[in-house]
Structure 1
Amino acid sequence: MKNGSAPKPGGAPSRSVPSVRTLAWTTLVGIVLLAHVPDGDGSRPPTTTQASPLLARPAAGADRDRSETRPLPASDATRIRIPTIGVDVALVPLELDGAGALRPPPATAPTVAGWYADGTAPGAPGTAVVAGHLDTPLGPAVFHRLNTLSRGARIEIDRDDGRTALFTVDAVEAHPKDRFPDEKVYGDSGRPELRLITCGGDWSSDTGYRANTVVYATLTGTR
């Protein structure tokens, strides 16, 4: 990035981790791929109407007691469950392409989500990132109800080491793609956190979805 690099996300030892600003560039120009437009069709992809207002993120330190949960060591993520919106799907590793954009899960597999495998492992110290489609040419996808999550909702992520990281939703926000707050979304607070990202906002046949829905969550337990 022309503006230089920011501190790297933690939690993935012995891996070369792109900077926070590199990952932000992913969101600005790459994660738009999550809103796949059918070839030759300028109509809006099928989706589920956004049904509830998005929540404001709580003030820093509002949930300081949550930081008491002991972090887990790094381990690959394998599955995500979000009971309140009926998500229970496999997680696949995602990586950046040659242009620095995050490769999304294939549009032919709308029920699969992915985690940024060169970043923080879910449950380890730092900010882990999980992305999934809102919709595809096949219809509503894995995160089509992501914006309906409420503060306090539970997110469970199974890991390759047999442990499960339990996260609690702090907030849900919509961010325009051209004003995406990279430091806020990807910044490291020093405790294990999770971001779930999909497309959102208005849809244009020229540019696709104009915003991203971001869920902010904090590790509150393990098993």
Structure 2
Amino acid sequence: MSASRLPMMADEEEQEPRRKRAPWGVIALVLLSGLALIRNGSGEFDVGPPQPAKAVAPDASRAPSPSAGATVRALPSSVPDRVRIPVIQVDAPITPVGVDSDGWVAAPPPENPNLAGWFNGAVTPGEKGTAVVVGHVDNKAGPAVFYGLGALKKGNHVDIHREDGKTAVFEVYGVEVFEKDAFPGDRVYGSKGTPELRVITCGGGYTKQTGYQGNVVVFARLVEVR
């Protein structure tokens, strides 16, 4: 699939021309081409990671209902340094990640299971637009930082601490698993004109030959700044 058929996030580029960002076509092309976001998950444990229930999927037919987040102003740019998801006991440092030499979105080093990555070709969490945080579901030693991601429910919170000392609090409004060869890049990464967050890890079925067959995606929106 050619990059010209993928979303380019024109609105954000027009509003912040001084900040050079990788086009969303890069990350979307990687996933729409039928490749998993994170290749190092082993998937070899007796009980696999939890998978989202259908009832938790965001309603694609309409926009999320207005909430307290509708009145929260977008923040200026500041690099995130920690992610906390209390309900699934995530408390992990964040490292910036980009695109590797093969054109993949780089994942955090797999040997550090409690480490998440912020895709630095996008906005920082809390800015207007869609920020992206990724992490491994597991490694050869066992579960990793986002092993429990599929268990999140609507209304759960994801807290992103930033280098400016502020914490951007995002409310989950959907969790879904997408097959890697049918990944809806425009739906996942497209800007809604407000500060949003996507948290992504591997998920779906698993085979030793191909690894995980999909990605778990958490959809969340900014509701509070602390």
Fold similarity call, TM over 0.5: yes
CA shift digits 1:164-201 (9 cap, x unpaired): 10000000001000000000000000000000000001
- Following TM superposition, by how much is the alpha carbon of 1:210 offset from its aligned partner in structure 2, in angstroms? 0.4
Question: In the alignment, which residue of structure 2 is the partner of 1:216?
Answer: 219
- Following TM superposition, by how much is the alpha carbon of 1:13 offset from its aligned partner in structure 2, in angstroms? 6.2
Equivalent pairs, count: 218
- Matches of 1:28 and 1:135, distance apart in 2: 23
- Following TM superposition, by how much is the alpha carbon of 1:117 offset from its aligned partner in structure 2, in angstroms? 1.3
1:30–1:102 contact (8 Å) kept in structure 2 = no
Question: In the alignment, which residue of structure 1 is the partner of 2:90?
Answer: 87
1:188 pairs with 2:191: yes
Q: List runs of 5+ in structure 2 lacking aligned partners.
A: none
Sort the Cα spacing of 1:147 and 1:168 in 2 relative to 1 into closer, same or farther, 3 A.
same
Aligned AA (2:130): T
Q: What is the aligned-residue identity percentage?
A: 38
Sort the Cα spacing of 1:68 and 1:159 in 2 relative to 1 into closer, same or farther, 3 A.
same
Question: In the alignment, which residue of structure 2 is the partner of 1:132?
Answer: 135
CA shift digits 1:75-118 (9 cap, x unpaired): 00000000000000000001011332111001101110011112
- TM-score by length of structure 2 reads 0.88
SS in structure 2 opposite 1:183?
A: helix
Runs of 4 or more, structure 1, over 6 Å off, are none
Q: List runs of 5+ in structure 1 lacking aligned partners.
A: 39-43
- Following TM superposition, by how much is the alpha carbon of 1:49 offset from its aligned partner in structure 2, in angstroms? 4.0
1:171-186 superposed matches below 5 A? 171-186=174-189
Question: In the alignment, which residue of structure 2 is the partner of 1:61?
Answer: 63
Structure 1 window deviating more from structure 2 (66-75 vs 51-60): it is 51-60
Q: CA RMSD in A?
A: 2.2
